[in-house]
A and B are shown apart, each in its own frame.
Chain A
Amino acid sequence: MIKTDTLIIGAGPVGLFCVHQLGIIGLTCEVVDNLDKIGGQCIELYPDKPIYDIPAIPECTGEELTNNLLKQIKTFKTNFHLNERVEEIKQDEKKWLIKTNKGTQFETSSIIIAAGVGSFEPRKFSTKEIEKYEGKKILYSVKDKKIFKDKTVTIFGGGDSALDWAIELSNTSKVILVHRRDDFRGMQASIDKVNQLKEEGKIEIYTKCQLDSVEGDDEIESINIKHDDESIKEIKTDYVLGFFGLIMKLGPIAEWGLNLDKKTIPVNTENFETNKKGIFAIGDICSYPGKLKLILSGFHEGALAARGCFKYAKPDEKYRFEFTTSSKTVKSRLGIKE
């Protein structure tokens, strides 16, 4: 059981800045995120896209923003629990007991949900009969590439994941690449490599095609792909890999008894607390009149939510506002030596 003043759910920019705001007022926190890396949507959806509306930063990419936020909180040596999703929360008198899908447990006086639009999960095929094959013969990620050795693998998708795996697996497997249009959107070097492998007869490529149906029992016997012109082609394959990016799902948060408005959590704008005492929501996931889904709004929300957590973490102390420019206490928390 890890004891902390606050648990932050979500390691996106808003969660990261909230770590800073908690840190300078002397509260500890731990951060849980379902993704395998820090940065949330900034890293997962647009690491290379420039952002132009962060105050005092005329232009930066999602990746640069994340790295700068990490630099800003380095001094607090925060623990990040990545690849973990918070499943259960339970109130125990004045504490919250929290459990993740990997069994990590926390005891905390407050929770800050900075979960964007929920947790990222792979997008799946829409064909109905795929369910019985998913996780075995139809996969959305590669955990052990050895299972594909000397097998036929059909890869769907047109981005870097699809291209990279087509190239990698073509060394040891028969690879068929299927994409819904002629253009691939991955790195040019990967596209060139895939085309070269096609010339060499190492990869088969079908474009303007999508999965239509799957035949077989426990094993896949064959799949049918449908061309834009409605013609169907049968492909004998052992495995199917789908790389259609990630989708965001609210997930277990919906089960915690919080008021919900569509996929967002209504909060008050004084300290961004939800209908449950001690649970706060900030960033894209919270809603209130006038809410703007901007990173800068999330920073503001995090600053106030952090102060809101203070009374739960230190019920016998009075919170006093201090500036980083002048407070010795704050500077020492930031590790600044004078």
Chain B
Amino acid sequence: MPKITYLENNGNSKTIEVSNGLTVMEGAVQNDIQGIDADCGGGMACATCHVYVNEEWFDKLPKKEDGEEDMLDMAFEPKKNSRLSCQLIVSDELDGLIVSIPSKQG
């Protein structure tokens, strides 16, 4: 199973095996990762699953759809490497992905 590393905003690092087909958001919510709220449940309607993707990974990810960039306008402190974790579907290609969680979501 692919391993995803979540860098929590309290400094903790958690590496979790997430099944293929789940989203990076779901992997976080199911494993009690701090700081991913996912208020809308993955509908790309809230921007509270916002993460920063480590630079080496950012270009390897599937490109953002328009709706995602629009929602990132709403996110807390968006940066160039911002993504919504509900739009990142886990696959073998994502094994080793590292995401950092912003200091807060709202």
Q: Which A residues contact B (CB, under 8 angstroms)?
A: 41, 45-46, 117, 123, 126, 157-159, 179-181, 183, 185, 210, 228, 244-245, 247-249, 263, 284, 293
**Distance between B20 CB and nearest chain A CB, rounded to angstroms:** 22
B41 touches A123 (CB 8 A): no
Q: Select one of B45, B69, B106 contacting A123, CB under 8 A.
A: B106
CA distance A123 to B105 in the complex (A): 10
* Chain B residues, CB < 8 A from A263: 37, 39
Complex alpha-carbon distance, A247 and B37, angstroms: 11
Chain A residues, CB < 8 A from B45: 41, 45-46
A45 touching B78, Cβ below 8 Å: no
Quote the shortest CB–CB distance from A302 to chain B (angstroms): 18
CB–CB B73/A45 < 8 A: no
Q: Within 8 Å of chain A (Cβ to Cβ): is B55? A: no
Select B46's contact among A180, A181, A244, A248, beta carbons within 8 Å: A248
Give how many A-B residue pairs fall within 8 Å (CB-CB). Answer: 51
Q: Who on chain B is nearest to A126 by CB? A: B77
Interchain nearest-CB distance for B80 vs A (Å): 6
Closest A residue to B80 using CB positions: A228
Contact yes or no, B48 A247, CB < 8 A: yes
Question: Interface readout for B39-62 with A: 1 if CB under 8 Å, 0 if not?
Answer: 111010111100000000000000
- Contact between chains at B77 and A159 (CB < 8 Å): no
B39 and A181 contact, CB distance less than 8 A: no
Q: Report the Cα distance A123→B70, complex, angstroms.
A: 15
Name the CB-closest residue of B to A157. Answer: B73
**Interface assignment of B88: CB less than 8 Å from any CB of chain A:** no
Interface residues of B in 2-51 (CB under 8 A from A): 37, 39-41, 43, 45-48
Give B60-95 interface residues, CB cut-off 8 Å to A.
69-70, 73-74, 76-78, 80
Chain B residues positioned under 8 Å from A179 (CB to CB) = 73
B45 to chain A, nearest CB (A): 4
23 A-B pairs (CB sep. < 8 Å): A45-B40, A45-B45, A45-B46, A46-B43, A46-B45, A117-B40, A117-B46, A126-B76, A126-B104, A159-B70, A159-B73, A181-B73, A185-B73, A228-B80, A244-B74, A245-B73, A245-B74, A247-B39, A247-B48, A247-B106, A248-B39, A249-B106, A263-B37
